[in-house]
Amino acid sequence: MAPLPLQTKTLFALLAMGTIAIQGMAVACIDPSSGVSGLPGQSEPRPARPEPRPALEPEPRPGNWEVATVEDLVTRAVSRRILRTVAAEVDRPASELRIAAAEAATWDGCMGIYEPDQFCTMIAISGLRLVVTDGDQSWVYHARQDGREMVQNPTAISRNGLIPDFIPPVMAEPTEPEAHIFRSVESGSLVGTQFETVLLTDGRLLRKENGKVVSERQLPAEQVAAFEQVLEDQRFPNLNRLRYITDAAFADYPTVQLSAMQYETTYIDLAIDDAPPALQAVVQAWSELTAEAQ
């Protein structure tokens, strides 16, 4: 990020009859490379001793480094435009809808909607990802920043008051995970134990408790391929960074994080029946796969 312009204030003081009177103040922007202050009548400024400048931290970016509110990202005019569009699509009065969550996003030519075997032009469209709800059903939309173009993410619909939000971005440096096809991590219970099950790319299924391997199985290639087909059929990438949890998660009820390559989603099993059907199908297929491997 470019350094901020250095601004100084030069105070002119005139001495009269031994008394200091402040007559005026001028503000000047100094170019550090030229040493010219830009003030009239000061053609040869006195050289100043250079001082070391502290390193600048990266500027936080809403939706990436810090959590931004809906109001931070969506103006009232854009919000009205979005809600009118959604109301027409889902057949609800716009007055009954609200934007429950929003984050900044950069879309490709397919507006970030994954379809198997679909080619998307690699362009960068500045936009928004939005959760719109009527309090009962919730929809996820991918939009341009001005809200004039938007598409629904049909994989991500939830119901019965289960309103998703977005998994907060990780502030720490990412670690390189094991090469895996799929992973589930259950954590947050009162017991404090983290249970992890991971299907590696070589077909091994590992079970871990607090990071320690407690069992290992080798799955047949056809069984692995069948599960991968479920992920493809259910468009798992469209659930990326969506979180389907309730207040129970904040009362130390465990949540489950699922990941496939760089895509991840989180849910609480108390509300799985109200989660998107695609997520339910993936959870069911994964449960069956891991049960057979025991």
Q: What is the pTM of this model?
A: 0.74
**230 touches 237 (CB < 8 A):** no
Give percent of the chain with pLDDT exceeding 70: 73
pLDDT tens digits along 91-125: 999 999 999 999 999 999 999 999 999 999 999 99
**41: region left, alpha or beta (phi > 0 left; psi from -120 to 50 alpha):** left
Higher-confidence position of 2 and 115: 115
What are the C-alpha distances in Å from 125 to residues 107, 112, 145, 216, 268? 5, 10, 9, 44, 32
Nearest to 259 by CA among 181, 194, 200: 181
* Cα–Cα distance measured from residue 105 to residue 62, given in angstroms and rounded to the nearest whole number: 10
**pLDDT-derived band of residue 49, with 50, 70 and 90 as boundaries?**
very low
pLDDT tens digits along 165-200: 999 876 555 566 678 999 999 988 777 789 999 999
pLDDT at 176: 61
Instruction: List the domain boundaries for the chain.
Output: 70-164, 180-292
Place of tokens 């056809």: 222
DSSP string, the chain: -PPPPPEEEEEEEEEETTEEEEEEEEEEE--TTT-----TT-SSPPP----PPPPPPPPP-BTTTB---HHHH--HHHHHHHHHHHHHHHT--GGG-EEEEEEEEEE-TTTT---TT-------EEEEEEEEE-SS-EEEEEEETTSSSEEEEEEEEE-TT---EEPPPP-SPPP----EEEEEEEE--TT---EEEEEETTSEEEEEETTEEEEEEEPPHHHHHHHHHHHHHTTGGGGTTEEE--GGGGGT--EEEEEETTEEEEE-GGGGGGS-HHHHHHHHHHHHHHHHT-
pLDDT at 31: 40
Place of tokens 């000061």: 42
Kindly state the tokens that stand for 201.
């790319």
**111 touches 127 (CB < 8 A):** yes
Q: Phi and psi of 195, rounded to 5°?
A: -105, 130
pLDDT tens digits along 13-46: 333 333 333 333 333 333 433 333 443 444 444 4
